[in-house]
Chain A
Amino acid sequence: MPIKRIEVRERVMARNDELAAVVRRTLEEAGVLALNLVSSPGSGKTRLLEQTLADLGDELRMAVVTGDVQTSNDAERLARHTDRLVQAVVTNGACHLDARQVGEAMGALDLNETDLLFIENVGNLVCPASWDLGESEKVVLFSVTEGEDKPVKYPKMFAKASTAVITKTDLLPYVPFDLNRARRFLHQTNPDLRLILVSALGGTGLEHWYDYLRSRVHVVGVERRNRHTA
């Protein structure tokens, strides 16, 4: 049997990375801050977003693309807190969002009327770390019920994030979560990581989260104006 050998040498993630670059460029041109929220399932991404949409909806123009393996439950929850479009992406079994899905979902959003895009990734601390979505920053969440060693168990995700949010801090009196140990693990994994502690249910720490959002939206807006005047 004659066999033909074809040299390929193509990176498997090349296509996704090209699409992510298009997403990133589109967002930058529109001056939109895009945060890719990643965590294990049940850490409170949707709850934090619900509260954020409710509290900052009059101040910031926010849009959401939310990914789930099945159901649009999260999108329906979030839509109750905003008049703006919440885009649901059902991955049908895939354990992460990819840049194509985000690019397509963004097509339905008016980016010129948007300051901040939340991309709520599928709950998973492994797979989403490998897929660039074109976001401005990754924000990794973990709750006090999960154990403080998450950063050293899933170092790639924490190394790639700009910000870590420890959630459900209202449960701290009831669970054996050592905050100092968590800080140490976070610093060990990524010394530049910004740390925010919140309880979306109780309201504690939300102002720090909101200040972070406001400051990053401001910086992205300034960068866009500087590009346009340059």
Chain B
Amino acid sequence: MHELSIAMEICRITEEAVGPDRLGDVIEVGLDVGVDADVVIDNLEFCLEALLAGPPFGRGRPVIASRPGDDLRVTYLEVDDADQTN
């Protein structure tokens, strides 16, 4: 059940990294999830898919890598940079 809290914290980290005006440009959120992190990956993925599909996001999707250990980390973000390069 705490996967939703974790998903919301991941969204906060994403906002901090890209800024509030570019959340709609986020297309991928990369995560490392340790097998001992007490996180049910399917649940976390479900929560993130729901959050990243709606405003202020819209077209993001989570990419979760299961790792040994108890680490739980946002590893990278991919952002549509079209507006910035025009």
Contacts and interface: CB of A to CB of B under 8 A. Distances in A.
A7 interface: yes
Interface string A125-147: 01101110000000000000000
Contacts of A8: 13, 17, 30, 74-77
Given A5-B76, A7-B75, A8-B13, A127 B81 contact: no
A54 B74 CA distance: 47
B72 A11 contact: yes
B78 A10 contact: no
Given A94-B5, A126-B38, A129-B38, A10 B85 contact: no
A6 B72 contact: no
Contacts of B82: 1-2
B78 A130 contact: no
Interface residues of A, number: 27
Given A2-B81, A4-B79, A127 B1 contact: yes
A12 B85 contact: no
Interface string B1-15: 110111001101100
B86 to A, nearest CB: 9
Contacts of B78: 3-6
Contacts of A6: 17-18, 76-79
Contact of A10 (B37, B74, B80): B74
A160 to B, nearest CB: 11
B7 to A, nearest CB: 9
6 contacts: A1-B82, A4-B79, A12-B6, A12-B72, A13-B9, A127-B2
Interface of B: 1-2, 4-6, 9-10, 12-13, 17-18, 27, 30-31, 37-38, 71-82, 84-85
A-B residue pairs, 3 tightest by C-beta = A127-B2, A4-B81, A95-B1
Interface of A: 1-13, 15-16, 93-96, 98, 124, 126-127, 129-131, 156
